[in-house]
Amino acid sequence: MDAALGLPVLVGLIAVALLFDFLNGLHDAANSIATIVSTRVLRPQFAVFWAAFFNFVAFMVFGLHVAQTIGTGIIDPSIVDAQVIFAALVGAIVWNLVTWALGIPSSSSHALIGGLIGGGMAKAGISAAVWSGLTKTVLAIVLSPLVGFLLAMMLVAIVSWASVRSTPFAVDRAFRILQFASASLYSLGHGGNDAQKTMGIIAVLLYSQGQLGSEFSVPFWVVLSCQAAMALGTLMGGWRIVRTMGLRITKLTPMQGFCAETGGAVTLFMATFLGVPVSTTHTITGAIVGVGAARRVSAVRWNVASSIVYAWVITIPASAIVAALTWWAVKIFVR
């Protein structure tokens, strides 16, 4: 592919990026709705509409710090071209489809980051990486589920103490109502962090083609397009992963669902305001494990949790390998 793209090719690449964003919403819908569905507070068909709405309106709440990190903080923007972007998106999309088909809640965020690393390094070697941004991202891989775990566990302790004089029926009824608020906050955090990653990809592509002038920025139409694609993907659901997240890790009550969603939402809000592209999958998984472990350690199905961790470990290298192979394939066949 040439450095200067024709309009049809540029539009095609933007369409592929929006396809990834749609699949991100499809794949990660479980993050927003698994707990509220598994506690039977909302039926699945209503839950996806609820999540999709808050995924879409997230751009009104958050800045674009995560988009800036993805656009300029993972690989050097000066080496980005259409071939690198295409390879990165193919790497991320292929890994998303594989894990979605298997019902594994892997991270779309880290699949995209792995794709960028693979495509960038295939072109320019190790020098393509922006190590400060990558270090921050890798640190977040460890910290986001840990923070979600600790916050959720702490919230279980607090609400258990606060409701010790209440009847189980009253507690259940109260937290069924409160789960609407916690699920809304988590969906808002999901839309705010995850949709910005595709915004960063499209913006750096436009920047590389001289469409944004001399300074990197994210046009408003890109913001709206990415939020809409993610919301549409969320509407399509992701029931394989919903079953894993909401039912297979541990059995949840409305109180525990509220604590998991709130702990996860607080983690996402902090990360998004700091511009850190965390995994919403990692975050909510850590929070769900936290509420299960707060009840008793044996309440968590650790074999399921460990298989999820294995998927986390291989996501970045797997998507990077697919992206690198894609870059070489394009280089060979498109001259």
Tell me what pLDDT residue 2 has. Answer: 45
Percentage above 70 pLDDT, the chain:
86
What type of residue is 4?
A
In this prediction the pTM is 0.78
**In 3D, which of 257, 259, 244 has the Cα closest to residue 105?**
244
Does residue 189 contact residue 327 with C-beta atoms inside 8 Å? no
Mean pLDDT of the chain: 82
| pLDDT score for 285 | 79
Q: Which of 213-217, 266-270, 283-287 has the lowest mean pLDDT?
A: 213-217
Count of CA atoms in the C-beta half-sphere (13 A) of 133 = 22
Q: In this predicted structure, what is the pLDDT of residue 1?
A: 45
Smallest Cα–Cα separation from 286: which of 258, 311, 270, 308? 308
Find the helix packing angle between 131-162 and 65-72, rounded to 10°.
Answer: 150
What is the enclosing helix (H) or strand (E) of 268?
helix 254-274
Lowest mean pLDDT among 8-22, 44-58, 148-162, 321-335: 44-58
Nearest 5°: the CA angle 323, 97, 145 is 85
Each residue's pLDDT tens digit, 137-163: 888 877 888 898 899 989 988 998 888
Q: Among 2-6, 219-223, 305-309, which is the least confidently predicted range?
A: 2-6
Distance of CA 106 to the CA centre of its chain: 9
- The average pLDDT across 119-138 equals 88
